[in-house]
A and B are shown apart, each in its own frame.
Chain A
């Protein structure tokens, strides 16, 4: 039978449980902090690998910060034999369910998009989450090998060149504006004028 519900008993029981639980959580957090950081770093590195040509440096250790329109972006340079061959630009547009953390890789010479990669997102499973899909016919495949200078970065519904994911226009818009932002960052690195990149504004409140 349970102990009596006297005032001191209740405080004692709840207090002990909270103490033990928080001690346990602190311990687990301490133990897992390092592996979690390592796992995240590995994830970033493998994402960089996916969006740039083959490199022999460690891009996450040579990260540079570039400021465009008052916002700071992380750029990971991919080098092969000390020559920069590609840039992976990290952008975080806001999608339907929150921030989409994504990488866009550019060829260092031509500015052509090498590939894109989604590091993390919280879009609707089965709908917006399709931005993580890869392979032929996926939403992201249309960006591979695209020449951003000749592209209007808006979904077709808004008069642009990008095929949106069915029933996920907001997510598609966010991803598209992310790619456009990344291109602006690339142009800034190259010292070119980024003002005439055609894009839908990323912070506008869209209505369906």
Chain B
């Protein structure tokens, strides 16, 4: 049990996908214009990650080595499409905000990375925990990046406006994403390397 707990918590700091593994940079830079957007992308990725990790760990034994990557991609994209369709049908208001980002999950290298590095060597339950941990870590980092960009760029936090002027537009645009990510990564490294 302690082992599984560790699998979940390692995603926050030790194996943090954004700041430690530096994976999935495309959605990190693209979707973090506000804290809510970042969080939404994180949560959607987490759902797909848990599901795909479980299925891949269950079927990995039957997949020949040479075709494992195409097989994983097919499984992952099937899940992404299912999540997208279900969300569109039963949670239309959430789909409204996240719809744009859902197809992007297929090309997120975190999902394929975990399938390759963890799920195909471990059991179903362990893989689910790994997916949950990495997913939570990803959600947390995206929310933080989004929050910083939203505060600096729009003068609001989680959509709540606390500053009358609009803030520095640069931080909502793509260059701002790189700047914020860079400084947060420096901070993360400073705090974790002792």
Contact = CB atoms under 8 A, between A and B. Distances in A.
Given A25-B81, A36-B85, A17 B71 contact: yes
Contacts, number: 89
Interface residues of B, number: 35
Given A21-B74, A21-B75, A29-B85, A125 B37 contact: yes
Given A10-B64, A126-B172, A18 B74 contact: yes
Nearest to B87: A32
B153 A126 contact: yes
A193 to B, nearest CB: 39
Contacts of B74: 14, 17-18, 21
Interface in A14-40: 14, 17-18, 21-22, 24-25, 28-29, 31-32, 35-36, 39-40
A203 interface: no
Contact of A5 (B59, B64, B81): B64
A206 B90 CA distance: 39
A18 B78 CA distance: 9
Contacts of B67: 5, 10, 13-14
Interface residues of A, number: 33
A136 interface: no
Contacts of B57: none
8 contacts: A14-B70, A24-B78, A25-B81, A36-B88, A43-B92, A126-B34, A126-B154, A167-B173
Interface string B155-166: 000000000001
